[in-house]
Amino acid sequence: MTEQELVKKLQQADQLAFKHLVDKYQDKVQNTCWGFVKSSTEAEDLTQEVFIEIYESIHAFKFESKLGTYIYRVAVNKSLDYIRKQKSQKRWGVILSILSWSENKELPSMPDWEHPGVTLENKERASILMSKVEELPDNQRVAFTLHKIEGLSYQEIAEVMQVSLASVESLIFRAKQNLKKKLQGYYQQGI
């Protein structure tokens, strides 16, 4: 089945076509979400949300990009929205606890994690690297994650992020420079 045939069937609410879509893209979507949220449970939930959104919005797909690019874009946007929502909730929780409005609930701590695509032998170093990636500005983090962890080409990243190829090159260059600065002290200590 060609991509166009698949999209047409999805637009007609064909259940077998949707199952085919999920089977084909589920692992990629889940890994993409995991790359941003660092939790397998949250990545699974976001993956479901991504496919629900695709199912509900596929009628608007106009073949201006590849279906895979569209799916990555939805996954990235869902992940970033989730992160923004979490940050907002944490800020609000801090404010409430400062003002003694909370019921002494502890804020959730950052779970220990390792992205399955990370091949570094030393878990501590991988964790430190990924924590520094989390500190990058959103656009740099998205471009860097899609390229270095998900293995997308610059052109594919440009399509997913809806920016120019030059912008992707610049974002990844700046991400590398920022990471170099952030990790410089760690490596100078000889850890």
Question: Is the pLDDT confidence value at 112 over 60?
Answer: no
SS3 39: coil
Q: Is the pLDDT of residue 158 over 50?
A: yes
Q: 124-134: per-residue pLDDT in tens?
A: 666 777 788 88
37-57 pLDDT per residue, tens: 888 899 999 999 999 999 999
pLDDT-derived band at 191 (thresholds 50, 70, 90) equals: very low
Three-state SS annotation for the chain = CCHHHHHHHHHCCCHHHHHHHHHHHHHHHHHHHHHHHCCHHHHHHHHHHHHHHHHHHHHHCCCCCCHHHHHHHHHHHHHHHHHHHHHHHHHHHHHHHHCCCCCCCCCCCCCCCCCCCCCCCCHHHHHHHHHHHHCCCHHHHHHHHHHHHCCCCHHHHHHHHCCCHHHHHHHHHHHHHHHHHHHHHHHHCCC
Q: Which domains does the chain have, with CATH numbers?
A: 1-109 (1.10.1740.10), 114-191 (1.10.10.10)
